[in-house]
């Protein structure tokens, strides 16, 4: 999702540094951003000048030190608590103490990420939806120590990004995945038990409930590894067997 997040910030006029440990991922990100902005121009949602400006404002690199003079950071690495905590500790050393460190986590505790830093008041969740350039929602998550000022800054940023912010408390999976993932999980159980084929289940939800994608197609779109990681957070954090993946 990092490339989509970088794209919407660049489109909104911000200078963006997109960092990934793997240079191949950065090449794919740039290609995907170029394809996406081209599509938006084709649809009349972006002018050619805006497209060129956005691409010029975007730079990439594999060294996290590139973020040293950032004014705002959004983390979007894979869904693993330890990996995110060690990155937050590194970002805390690297950036100015007044900088907000936001996480695009789908489910991991913002309070726990904040506790890996010396600025838990400036750590919050900024959860975008895939595909980021098309989906208008951002879930904003307030950790136990997140300050009202940090939440306000993030909410104002969402307005500049042309997104609608909805605030959620720091419970496992927040709102989006607390509601979405049990449906995805149930669809997978329904395949396992032979209630219907994958196609049948997706068609029922598409035509019967007007979902743009069936839950199994959506699970592939999100990534089954990500779905599993989120369900494990729900299962462990809420302690109810109904969340078992
Ligand atoms: N940038 C620009 N344009 C894009 C794009 C992108 N990143 N991705 C797709 N498009 C374009 C397509 O090229 C297509 O253009 P044409 O009409 O010219 O062909 C257009 O958008 C519509 O796409 P499609 O025809 O392929 O399909 P669609 O009408 O079904 O729309 C969709 C695609 C918006 C993804 C829609 O299927 C949808 O809303 N699906 C559900 C998405 C969803 O639920 N997202 C949330 C997932 S959960 C999550 O992200 C968070 C988490 O924590 C797990």
Q: Which of 156, 220, 150 is nearest to 191 (CA)?
A: 220
Q: Quick one: average pLDDT of 143-155? A: 98
Q: Using a 6 Å cutoff on CB, does residue 131 contact ligand 1?
A: yes
Q: Quick one: average pLDDT of 59-85? A: 97
pLDDT in tens, 162-199: 999 999 999 999 999 999 999 999 999 999 999 999 99
pLDDT in tens, 123-139: 999 999 999 999 999 99
Q: Residue 142 and residue 133: Cα distance in Å, rounded?
A: 24
* pLDDT score, position 89: 98
DSSP state of 203: H
Q: Quick one: average pLDDT of 231-238? A: 97
pLDDT in tens, 2-49: 999 999 999 999 999 999 999 999 999 999 999 999 999 999 999 999
Q: Which of 107, 156, 165 is nearest to 137 (CA)?
A: 165
DSSP state of 223: -
Task: Pick the catalytic residue from 36, 70, 106, 107.
Answer: 106
pLDDT in tens, 197-222: 999 999 999 999 999 999 999 999 99
Contact indicator for 79, 105 with CB cutoff of 8 Å: yes
177 catalytic, yes or no?
yes
Q: Quick one: average pLDDT of 67-83? A: 96
* pLDDT score, position 30: 97
pLDDT in tens, 114-123: 999 999 999 9
Q: What is the pTM of this model?
A: 0.95
Q: Using a 6 Å cutoff on CB, does residue 132 contact ligand 1?
A: no
Task: Name the residue of 213, 223, 227 to mutate for ligand 1: max ligand atoms within 8 A of Cβ.
Answer: 213
Q: Which of 153, 145, 139 is nearest to 113 (CA)?
A: 145
Q: Quick one: average pLDDT of 41-61? A: 97
Q: Let me know if 219 is exposed, middle or buried by CB neighbors in 10 A (0-12, 13-18, 19+).
A: buried
Q: Quick one: average pLDDT of 52-75? A: 98
Contact indicator for 140, 116 with CB cutoff of 8 Å: no
* pLDDT score, position 157: 98
- Ligand 1, atom 16, residue with closest C-alpha: 39
Q: What angle do CA 90, 13, 58 make, to 5 degrees?
A: 55
pLDDT grade for 82, boundaries at 50, 70 and 90: very high
Give one DSSP letter per residue of 83-137, joined into a string.
HHHHHHHHHHHHS-TT-EEEE--SSS-HHHHHHTSS-GGGEEEEEE-SSTTT--E
Cα 131 to ligand 1 centroid, rounded to whole Å? 6
């Amino acid at each position: 999702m990092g490339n989509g997040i970088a794209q919407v910030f660049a489109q909104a006029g911000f200078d963006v540094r997109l960092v990934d440990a793997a240079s191949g991922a950065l090449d794919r990100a740039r290609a995907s951003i170029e394809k996406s902005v081209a599509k938006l121009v084709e649809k009349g949602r972006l002018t050619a000048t805006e497209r060129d400006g956005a691409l010029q404002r975007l730079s990439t690199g594999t060294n996290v030190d590139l973020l040293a003079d950032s004014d705002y950071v959004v983390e979007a690495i894979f869904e693993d608590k330890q990996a995110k905590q060690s990155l937050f500790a590194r970002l805390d050393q690297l950036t100015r103490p007044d900088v907000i460190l936001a996480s695009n986590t789908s489910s991991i505790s913002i309070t726990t990420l904040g506790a890996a830093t010396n600025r838990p008041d400036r750590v919050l969740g900024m959860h975008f939806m895939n595909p980021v350039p098309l989906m208008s929602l951002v879930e904003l998550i307030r950790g136990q120590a997140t300050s009202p000022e940090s939440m306000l800054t993030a909410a104002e940023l969402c307005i500049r990004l042309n997104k609608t912010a909805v605030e959620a408390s720091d419970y496992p999976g927040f709102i989006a995945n607390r509601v979405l993932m049990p449906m995805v999980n149930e669809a997978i159980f329904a395949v396992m038990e032979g209630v219907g084929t994958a196609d049948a289940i997706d068609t029922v939800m598409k035509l019967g409930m007007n979902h743009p994608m069936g839950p199994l197609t959506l699970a592939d779109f999100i990534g089954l590894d990500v779905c599993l990681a989120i369900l494990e957070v729900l299962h462990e954090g809420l302690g109810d067997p109904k969340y078992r993946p």
